[in-house]
A and B are shown apart, each in its own frame.
Chain A
Amino acid sequence: MQQKILIVDDDPDIRQALKLRLRANHFDTVHAVDGYSAIAQAYKEHPDLIILDLGLPAGDGYVVLDRLQRDDRLSNIPVVVLTARDPQSSELRAVRAGAAAFFQKPADNVELLAVIRATLPRVPQPVPLPS
C-alpha cells in the first residue's frame, strides 16, 4: 500500500508542486490549506507523514504541531516542517514543538525526499478516528 503524506501549505502552487513531486515518488498525497483543516485532515486521512508550512492562516504551524502532540492518536505522525522562515529563529522552536525535521524553502528535492523516507514509520500505523 502506498504511504500517504498530508501537505499543509496555504500557497496552491507549492501544494501542487509538492503533490507532483511526491506522487512521482510513489506516495499518495492529501492536502490542507490552513491550520484548522490540517488537524481535520490528520484525523480524517490518517497520513503517514505531514509536510507542514509554518506561516498559515487559521492557526499557524506551531499551533498545528501543538495540537498533534496533544492527541495520542496524532502524536506519532512525523512532521517535516517546510517553511520560508529563517531557521535561526524558527528551527529549534519547531523541533521543540515536535517537528522531526526542518527545511527552509526552497529546499533541495533530493535531500527532502531522503529525509521523508528516513522519517516515515517502517510499518504504517492506522490512526483511529475520533469518537
Chain B
Amino acid sequence: MTNKKDDLRRLGIYLLIVASSSAMLFACFKLINQSETAFAILSEVFCAAPALANLITRAVTKEGFRDMKLHLHLTGNLRYYLLAFLLPLVCTFMSCIPPIILGGHSDWLGGFTLKNIVAAILMLAAQGAVMSAGLVGEELGWRGYMNQKMETLVGVVGTVLIGGAVWSLWHLPSDMSLYLAGEETLSEAFLTVGGRLLFLPGYAAFYMWLTKKTDSVWPAVLSHGISNASQTCIMELLRMGDIPENAEINSGIFEFVPFIVTGIVFLWLMLCDKKKTEQKN
C-alpha cells in the first residue's frame, strides 16, 4: 500500500513538472513569436522536459537514480532493436501508401524505386543510430519513469491509454501553435490534437513493450527517432515521383489504422506476458 502511495506522489510530481513545461511554452508564446533564439532555447528545454522531470522527481523524493534503464542491453536483444527500427517504418508506410493506391493515384509513387527505397532505408539506419539520441529527452521520462509508476497504479491497459493520452497532450503547444499564430482555425487545431490522441497510444504500447522486453529505454529512443524520420523519408520518396503540388495525402481516419492495430497487438502481448508471470508465481 505504501508503495502505491509513494508511486502516486512521485507520479504526481513528475506530471506536474511535465505539465509545467507545456504551460511554459503557452506562457512564452509571445516571446517565441518575437524571437527565434528564444524559440530555439525554449523548444530544447521543452523536448528535454520529461527526462528532466524524471531526474528532478527522483532527486526531490529521494528515490535515487537506480533503474534508469540506461543500459543498452544489446546482448540477446538485437531482434528488439531491429523491430524498433522496422515497425515505425512499416506503420508510416502503411498509413500513407495504401490510401494513395486505393484513391487511384498510383502514378504518384514513381519515386518508390528499389534503388530509392534501399537508399532511404540505409540513410534512416545511419541517421537513426546517431540522430535519435536526442529523443532520450522524451523517452527517459515517458518510458523510463512515468510508465513504471503508472503501471503499479492503473495496470498495463491503463498505462497505455492514460500514458498515451498524457504523452499526446504534452504535445499541445506544438499542435496549437498554428492556431495561436492565427494560421489555423480552432477546429483544425483540435483535429491535429485528436489525431495525435488516436495514434500515440499505439506507439505508447509498442515502446512500453520494447522497454519491458529489453529493460532499456534505448530501443524506444531508436524507434521514436525512426518514427519521426520515416515521415520525412516517405514524403521525400513521394516528392521524387510525379506528385501534384496541391496533392492531399492525408486520408482521414484510415491513416491511424496501422497505429491502432500496433497498439492492440502489443497491448495483447503485454497482457499475455503478465498472465504468464502471474501463473509462474
Bound pair (A, B): no
Q: Which A residues have a C-beta under 8 Å from some C-beta of B?
A: none
Q: Which B residues have a C-beta under 8 Å from some C-beta of A?
A: none
